[in-house]
Structure 1
Amino acid sequence: MADSASFATRLQQAWLARGPLAIALLPLSWLFGGLVGLRRALYRAGIRRSERIDVPVLVVGNLIAGGAGKTPTTLALLGLLQREGWAPGVVSRGHGRRAQGVLDVGPDTPASEAGDEPLLLRLRGNVPVCVGSDRVAAARALRAHHPQVDIVVCDDGLQHLRLGRDAQVLVFDERGAGNGWLQPAGPLREPMPVGVPPCSVVLYNAARASTALPGHLALRGLAGVVALEDWWRGARPAPNSIDALRGRPLLAVAGLARPQRFFAMLREQGLDIGEHPLPDHHDYTTLPWPPGTADVVLTEKDAVKIRPERAAAGRIWVAALDFGFDAAFERDLLALLPPRPAHRA
Structure 2
Amino acid sequence: MARNKSALQAFVEQRWYHRPGLLGLLAPLEALFIAASRRRRQKKQSVEFDVPVVVVGNISVGGTGKTPVVKALVAHLRALGRNPGVVSRGYGRATTGVLMVENASTARQVGDEPLEIRRSCDVPTVVGEDRVAAVEFLLARAACDVVISDDGLQHYRLGRQFEIAVVDGSKGLGNGHCLPVGPLREPPHRLAEVDAVLISGAKSAISFVPAAATVFTYAVKPAKLVNVRSGEVRPVDWVAGFEKFTAIAGIGNPEKFFSTLTDLLPPEYPAFARRQFADHHQFTEADFRDLDRDTALLMTEKDSVKCVKFARDNWWYLAVDAVLDTRFYTLLGRVLSQPISD
TM-score, normalised to structure 2's length? 0.89
Deviates more, 1:186-195 or 1:66-75: 186-195
2:20 and 2:181 in contact (8 A); partners too: no
Question: What does residue 188 of structure 1 align with?
Answer: 184
Equivalent residue for 2:75, pick from 50, 75, 79: 79
2:248 and 2:275 in contact (8 A); partners too: yes
Secondary structure in 1 aligned to 2:202? coil
Q: d(CA) in 2 for partners of 1:263 and 1:75?
A: 22
Secondary structure in 1 aligned to 2:322? strand
RMSD in angstroms over aligned alpha carbons? 2.2
Question: What does residue 241 of structure 1 align with?
Answer: 238
- Which deviations, in whole Å up to 9, do the C-alpha atoms of 1:219-267 show, x marking residues without a partner? 2222232211233xxx55436333323xx22211000111111111111
Q: d(CA) in 1 for partners of 2:220 and 2:75?
A: 15
Q: 1:49 to 1:86 in 2, by over 3 A?
A: same
Q: d(CA) in 1 for partners of 2:259 and 2:180?
A: 27
Equivalent residue for 2:201, pick from 191, 194, 206: 206
Question: What does residue 298 of structure 2 align with?
Answer: 297
Question: What does residue 34 of structure 1 align with?
Answer: 35
Question: What does residue 215 of structure 2 align with?
Answer: 215
Deviation for aligned residue 1:33 = 1.4
Q: Give aligned pairs, total.
A: 327
Q: What is the letter of the counterpart of residue 159 of structure 2?
A: G
Q: 1:38 to 1:304 in 2, by over 3 A?
A: same
Question: What does residue 284 of structure 1 align with?
Answer: 283
Q: 1:159 to 1:121 in 2, by over 3 A?
A: same
Equivalent residue for 1:140, pick from 119, 123, 136: 136
Deviation for aligned residue 1:50 = 0.4
Q: d(CA) in 1 for partners of 2:298 and 2:262?
A: 12
Counterparts of 1:80-229 in structure 2, within 5 Å, are 80-146=76-142, 148-174=143-169, 175-193=171-189, 196-197=192-193, 200-208=195-203, 209-210=205-206, 211-212=209-210, 213-229=213-229
Deviation for aligned residue 1:13 = 2.6
- Which deviations, in whole Å up to 9, do the C-alpha atoms of 1:184-224 show, x marking residues without a partner? 221111111176315x1111112355234341111222223
TM-score, normalised to structure 1's length? 0.88
Secondary structure in 1 aligned to 2:285? coil
Q: Which runs of 5+ in 1 are unaligned?
A: 43-47
Equivalent residue for 2:247, pick from 245, 252, 266: 252
Q: 1:92 to 1:6 in 2, by over 3 A?
A: farther
Deviation for aligned residue 1:292 = 2.0
Q: 1:239 to 1:277 in 2, by over 3 A?
A: closer
Deviation for aligned residue 1:336 = 1.6
Q: What is the letter of the counterpart of residue 203 of structure 1?
A: L
1:237 and 1:320 in contact (8 A); partners too: no
Deviation for aligned residue 1:30 = 2.3
Q: d(CA) in 2 for partners of 1:243 and 1:162?
A: 48
Q: d(CA) in 1 for partners of 2:275 and 2:10?
A: 13
Question: What does residue 265 of structure 1 align with?
Answer: 260
2:4 and 2:277 in contact (8 A); partners too: no
Deviates more, 1:31-40 or 1:77-86: 31-40
Q: Which runs of 5+ in 2 are unaligned?
A: none
Q: 1:141 to 1:265 in 2, by over 3 A?
A: same
Deviation for aligned residue 1:287 = 4.2
Deviates more, 1:5-14 or 1:178-187: 5-14
1:69 and 1:173 in contact (8 A); partners too: yes
Q: What is the letter of the counterpart of residue 19 of structure 1?
A: P
- Which deviations, in whole Å up to 9, do the C-alpha atoms of 1:90-122 show, x marking residues without a partner? 000000111111001100011101000000010
Q: d(CA) in 2 for partners of 1:107 and 1:41?
A: 38
Question: What does residue 316 of structure 1 align with?
Answer: 315
Equivalent residue for 1:51, pick from 47, 50, 56: 47
Deviation for aligned residue 1:315 = 1.8
Q: 1:61 to 1:194 in 2, by over 3 A?
A: closer
- Which deviations, in whole Å up to 9, do the C-alpha atoms of 1:9-43 show, x marking residues without a partner? 5443321112335324434322211211221232x
Q: d(CA) in 2 for partners of 1:282 and 1:3?
A: 12
Q: d(CA) in 1 for partners of 2:9 and 2:314?
A: 29
